[in-house]
């Protein structure tokens, strides 16, 4: 075999390996229930920051616009691998991706829609927090279709999911879901063994307790910070941090 042919063969093998890694879903977290497919599984994805402010920081957020979209895609793939019949609805905060698209000079909404098409999920754009509450409470007839899973990917502090952190205002948010507003979520919309998890920073320090008090359903959250990865789900990045509910 000529050297050039050998090189091409190696490249092909590496490409095939990369494709197999792309298609291989990570295993379910130890605390996660395998979805039954009998209820609705909701993935909530917040928006990314703008580099107009973040680029000057020592540790800028969201260098990659797909920070939260990629994690959501990995989780969708993981759930579908565990149960091909799982019914997934993907709620995505649209304004931040419109704003970031102008920065990127790229149609990000179309890229997000392509994930929907590739995995056959229901994509629901939202522009404000009330739309999230409305979908949770009545996006399906909740008397017949309860929520068996609900997970969040995005920015947060110990008391808020911040859907537009550093997108409208530098290091701040104008669109959020505060822990004190969890009472707007109707009781009884979750299945008995629903898996609820916030993959964002600090939400195991206060927010998960408020979620339980409001809904009667436990939510996993992190003590400390989490780090979003390229090819795996977010990991704890604070020394001594843990997942708790």
pLDDT, tens digit (0-9, with 9 covering 90-100), for 90-108: 999 999 999 999 988 999 9
pLDDT tens-place string over residues 212-221:
999 999 999 9
Q: 226: closest CA among 236, 216, 218?
A: 236
Mean pLDDT computed over 18-39: 64
Whole-number CA gyration radius for the chain:
19
Side-chain-facing half-sphere of 86: CA atoms under 13 Å: 26
Residue that the structure tokens 């793939």 belong to: 77
Question: For residues 152 and 185, is the Cβ–Cβ distance under 8 A?
Answer: no
Residue 197, pLDDT score? 97
Residue 63, pLDDT score? 73
pLDDT of 173 above 80: no
Residue 22, pLDDT score? 45
pLDDT of 85 above 80: yes
**Strand positions, DSSP E, 66-132:** 87-93, 122-126
Residue 53, pLDDT score? 66
Residue 6, pLDDT score? 37
Q: What are phi and psi of 38, to 5 degrees?
A: -85, -20
Cα(3)–Cα(5) distance, rounded to whole angstroms? 5
pLDDT of 40 above 50: yes
Predicted confidence band of residue 68 (pLDDT cuts 50, 70, 90): very high
Q: 161: closest CA among 59, 43, 44, 244?
A: 44
Q: How buried is residue 86: exposed, middle or buried, by Cβ count under 10 Å (0-12/13-18/19+)?
A: buried
Residue 177, pLDDT score? 97
Chain mean pLDDT for the chain: 86
**Strand positions, DSSP E, the chain:** 40-45, 87-93, 122-126, 147-153, 155-156, 160-162, 176-178, 190-198, 221-223, 226-227, 235-236, 242-244
What does pTM read for this prediction? 0.86
Mean pLDDT computed over 73-98: 96
Neighbours of 109 (CB within 10 A): 15
pLDDT of 20 above 80: no
Percentage of the chain beyond pLDDT 90 is 71
pLDDT of 2 above 80: no
Cα(36)–Cα(9) distance, rounded to whole angstroms? 42
Cα 165 off chain centre by? 15
């Amino acid at each position: 075999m000529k050297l050039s042919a050998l090189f091409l063969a190696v490249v092909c093998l590496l490409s095939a390996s990369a494709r197999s890694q792309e298609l291989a879903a990570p295993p379910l977290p130890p605390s996660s229930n395998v979805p039954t497919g009998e209820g609705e599984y909701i993935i909530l994805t917040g928006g990314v920051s703008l580099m107009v402010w973040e680029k000057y920081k020592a540790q800028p957020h969201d260098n990659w616009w797909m920070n939260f979209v990629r994690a959501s895609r990995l989780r969708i793939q993981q759930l579908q691998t565990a149960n091909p019949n799982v019914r997934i609805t993907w709620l995505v905060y649209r304004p931040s991706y419109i704003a970031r698209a102008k920065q990127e000079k790229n149609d990000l909404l179309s890229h997000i829609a392509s994930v929907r098409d590739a995995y056959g999920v229901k994509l629901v754009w939202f522009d404000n927090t009330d739309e999230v509450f409305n979908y949770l409470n009545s996006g399906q007839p909740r008397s017949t279709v309860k929520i068996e899973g609900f997970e969040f990917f995005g920015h947060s502090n110990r008391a808020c999911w911040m859907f537009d952190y550093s997108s409208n205002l530098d290091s701040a948010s104008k669109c959020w879901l505060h822990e004190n507003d969890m009472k707007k979520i109707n009781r009884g919309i979750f299945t008995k063994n629903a898996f609820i998890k916030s993959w964002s920073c600090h939400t195991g320090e206060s927010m998960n307790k408020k979620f339980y008090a409001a809904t009667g359903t436990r939510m996993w959250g992190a003590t400390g910070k989490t780090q979003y990865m390229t090819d795996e789900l977010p990991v704890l990045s604070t020394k001594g941090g843990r997942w708790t509910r």
